[in-house]
Amino acid sequence: MIKLWGLLFFVFSAGAAPPSKPSQQVKVELEWEEIVGSTFYEVEVLRKDKTLVTTLKSPSPAMSVNLEPGYYLVRGRVRDHFNIQGEWSRLKEFLVPPKKIQAIAGQNSQMQVDPTTFMAPLKLHWEPPTGAHRYRIVLFNQDGKEIAKHESLQPQFSLSLRPGVYTYKVTPLTRDGVEGETFESPSMVVKSRPIPEVEEVAMEGENKKALLQWKKKTTLPTSVRLEYQKHFSTRWTRIHQSEIVETQWGLPQDLKPGKYRVLLWNRNRFGDVSSIKTLEFVIKPQESVL
Amino acid sequence: MKIRHWLLALLLSVSPRLGLAAAQQESPKIPENYIACKSADEFEQSVEYFRSEKTLELNDSQVVKWSLTIARGCTGALQRFKQIYELLNKSGVDLRKCVEMAASFSKKSDEQTKSFAGLFKTFFLENYFDLDFMTAFEVSEKLSQNPAKSEYARKDFERLYKFCTDQNKLGLPFKNCAQYSLGLLKHYDLFPEGIYPSFEVTYLFLTTQAGAVLSVKEALETTSEVLAAGPLAPENFKRAFNYSVSKKGLDTSMKQSMRIALEVAKASLKEKTP
């Protein structure tokens, strides 16, 4: 009598497939409880969509099969001494994960931003592990917060990073989404680069028709701010601010008597700023006014 | 008709006497140690001034407060206030400080106020000594503190500026003149009637009568050394130099005579023993 039996399958990934088999396949060992009275076991391995992958037959309750990593279903039935075939067991799922990524190249524990873009390029690449169809890459900041997620069909990934501390994880996945072991990176530190400051600030001409000039070793725009303070006051009042590409700026004419200071700094598109250069001057009244 | 004429004549004869009686009600006598002040005038005019000066943004109680402050400064207080307030306001001074300084000068004399204004312009303006604001302000304030000396101070530095910058005299750049003048301030307290006359006498002696052996720089330095010994030092220096260099005296060289004269000049002032 053929009993309905629950097959207990133990699945092992036994390593890479033998050279004669396709390279994306891994050897999987199947075994189950022996059914008393059975002489022959028949096992079907199906894909998730129930299409048949292979049929295995064995007199013993153990078989091995080469499969591509992925999601599978398996069922079995037995024959007894009288060659009577039993019914198929319930379908049971099992996963064959892709192999793990051994190493990832292209990362440095310390990086510095590019002086023109103020970002550090990160280009990762790795040997594609057996069975991986695509890869999920997740980037984390120093607080462990996920800041970027990406899926790639290729075993590579590029990103530009702002100054900070980062880690990332790369998980190989099969075609049908079975995840392999995640590769976790060590910390990477991206150091900022100081923004070159304004140099050699000088004022030409009389205070009331003056031209402010400076030099700089960058193409970044310069912020110019003019502030005013009355003698004996502690408060500076902003009277002008602008961002310019040139290395000179004409002061407003007819400045009223008092103290002035001009502040200059360079700034990139991320808001990183150089140190501030300051130039102070005093406007005095004309004798005729007094 | 006759009665009317008589009445008219009587009235005409009496009215001058009436006018004379009115004139005899004159201002009350003020004790010798005091000055009479038209405080009501000052108060009223101050109220009008503060109401019209919109930049100050004073409310009514502040107007009264400041007007009373000025009234306490006696006759001319508002004028003194305005002079200093407008000078400092136009020089870019914080309004609160302008009012504070102006109020302090409203209580001082006209000469002190004029001295501060004159000294400040001389020290601060670009075409004069062109000092930084705080130095110009503090020095002007210090020199105008003493009522007896403030006029001397103002005239001294105006004349010093002219002498120093005149191309026919010293002809020095403004900055050098300014630095030198500030150096003379150290000795200013020794000269109750001002320092300029002693400066001019000494400098001219060193560059003309003393054989013109000194350069402008040396002459200025020596002048400063002489002045450090007070108002009698220039005369003592001259006499000692002439004595040293003369045949009847020591008959020494110009340089040696200069050294001797300087030592004699330094002994021109001695502190009184208590």
pLDDT greater than 80 at residue B71: yes
Please report the pLDDT score of residue B208 as a whole number.
82
Determine whether the interchain pair A231/B96 forms a contact, defined as Cβ–Cβ distance below 8 Å.
no
Tell me the ipTM for this assembly.
0.77
pLDDT band of A15, cuts 50, 70, 90? very low
Backbone dihedral angles phi then psi of residue A126, each to the nearest 5 degrees = -150, 165
Q: Which chain B residues have a beta carbon less than 8 Å from that of A283?
A: 92
**A115-172, pLDDT tens digit by residue?**
888 899 999 999 999 999 999 999 999 999 999 999 999 999 999 999 999 999 999 9
In a domain, B223, yes or no: no
DSSP string, B35-79: ----HHHHHHHHHHHHHH-GGG---HHHHHHHHHHHHTT-TTHHH
Determine whether the interchain pair A290/B90 forms a contact, defined as Cβ–Cβ distance below 8 Å.
yes
Please report the pLDDT score of residue B44 as a whole number.
95
Please report the pLDDT score of residue B213 as a whole number.
67
CA-nearest residue to B135 within chain A is A231
Please report the pLDDT score of residue B273 as a whole number.
80
Question: Mean pLDDT, chain A, as a whole number?
Answer: 87
Q: Is the Cβ of A284 closer than 8 Å to some Cβ of chain B? A: yes
Please report the pLDDT score of residue A3 as a whole number.
26
In a domain, B122, yes or no: no
In a domain, B82, yes or no: yes
Whole-model pTM above 0.80? no
From the list A69, A21, A75, the residue with the least C-alpha distance to A50 is A75
Q: In total, how many domains does chain B have? A: 1
CA-CA-CA-CA torsion sign (B160, B164, B167, B173): negative
**B151-201, pLDDT tens digit by residue?**
888 888 889 888 988 888 888 888 888 888 888 888 888 988 889 999 999
In a domain, B86, yes or no: yes
Residues B125, A134: Cα–Cα separation, whole Å: 78
Report, in angstroms and rounded to the nearest whole number, the Rg of chain B calculated over CA atoms.
Answer: 28
From the list A59, A60, A72, A77, the residue with the least C-alpha distance to A28 is A72
Mean pLDDT of B83-93: 96
First to last CA, chain B: 90
The CA–CA distances, whole Å, from A61 to A10, A162, B46 equal 11, 57, 117
Facing B94 at nearest CB: one of A230, A282, A290: A230
Residues B139, B141: Cα–Cα separation, whole Å: 5
Q: Among all chains, which residue has been given the structure tokens 């023993």?
A: B273
In a domain, B273, yes or no: no
Residues B100, B85: Cα–Cα separation, whole Å: 9
The CA–CA distances, whole Å, from A26 to A44, A65, A126, A180, A227 equal 17, 8, 20, 13, 73
**A159-205, pLDDT tens digit by residue?**
999 999 999 999 999 988 999 999 999 999 999 888 889 999 998 88
**A67-86, pLDDT tens digit by residue?**
999 999 999 999 888 888 88
Q: Which of B89, B94, B174 to mutate to test the interface with A (most CBs of A within 10 A)?
A: B94
More confident residue, A103 or B10: A103
In a domain, B45, yes or no: yes
The CA–CA distances, whole Å, from A287 to B117, B127, B138 equal 12, 8, 20
**Helix locations, chain B, DSSP H:** 2-23, 39-52, 60-71, 77-90, 95-106, 110-124, 133-143, 150-165, 174-184, 196-204, 216-227, 233-245, 254-266
Domain, as residue range, for B69: 36-107
**B215-269, pLDDT tens digit by residue?**
888 899 999 999 999 999 999 999 999 999 889 989 988 888 889 999 999 999 8
Residues in chain A, how many? 290
Q: Which chain A residues have a beta carbon less than 8 Å from that of B84?
A: none
